[in-house]
Chain A
Amino acid sequence: MNAPIGNHLRRLRFDHGEMTQDALARAAGVTRQTVIALEAGRYAPSLELAFRLARVFCKRVDEVFFWREDEAGGQP
Chain B
Amino acid sequence: MRIVLVMLLSALVGALLAGPWIDWPLHEGYVGVVLMVGAALILRRHWQQRAATRGDEPGEPEREVWHGLASTSLIGVQIATTLYLAGPGLALHSVQAGQLGKTTWTLIAGAVVSWFILHRREVQRDERDRTIVTQANRVSGQVLAVLIVVLAVTLGFTPPQRLAPMSHVFLAHLLLLTLVISSLVSHALQLWGYRRDAQSGDAG
Residues of A within 8 A of B (CB): 1-2, 29-34, 36-37, 40-43, 45-46, 48-49
Contacts and interface: CB of A to CB of B under 8 A. Distances in A.
Given A1-B200, A46-B127, 15 more contacts: A1-B204, A2-B204, A30-B127, A31-B125, A31-B128, A33-B59, A34-B59, A34-B126, A34-B128, A34-B129, A37-B197, A41-B204, A42-B198, A42-B204, A45-B127
A16 to B, nearest CB: 19
B201 A37 contact: yes
Given A37-B197, A42-B197, A31 B129 contact: yes
B201 A42 contact: yes
Q: Which DSSP category, helix, strand, loop or mixed, fits chain B's interface?
A: helix
A42 B59 contact: no
Would you list the 4 A-B pairs with minimal beta carbon distance, nearest first? A33-B59, A30-B126, A40-B201, A2-B204
Contacts of A31: 59-61, 123-126, 128-129
A52 to B, nearest CB: 10
B201 to A, nearest CB: 4
A29 B126 contact: yes
B134 to A, nearest CB: 13
Q: Which DSSP category, helix, strand, loop or mixed, fits chain A's interface?
A: loop
A33 B204 CA distance: 17
Contacts of B123: 31-32
A29 B59 contact: no
A56 to B, nearest CB: 14
25 contacts: A1-B203, A1-B204, A2-B201, A2-B204, A29-B124, A29-B126, A30-B127, A31-B59, A31-B126, A31-B128, A31-B129, A32-B59, A33-B59, A33-B62, A34-B126, A34-B127, A37-B128, A37-B201, A40-B204, A41-B201, A42-B200, A42-B201, A45-B127, A46-B127, A48-B127
A30 B126 CA distance: 5
Contacts of B129: 31, 34
A43 B204 contact: no
A34 to B, nearest CB: 5
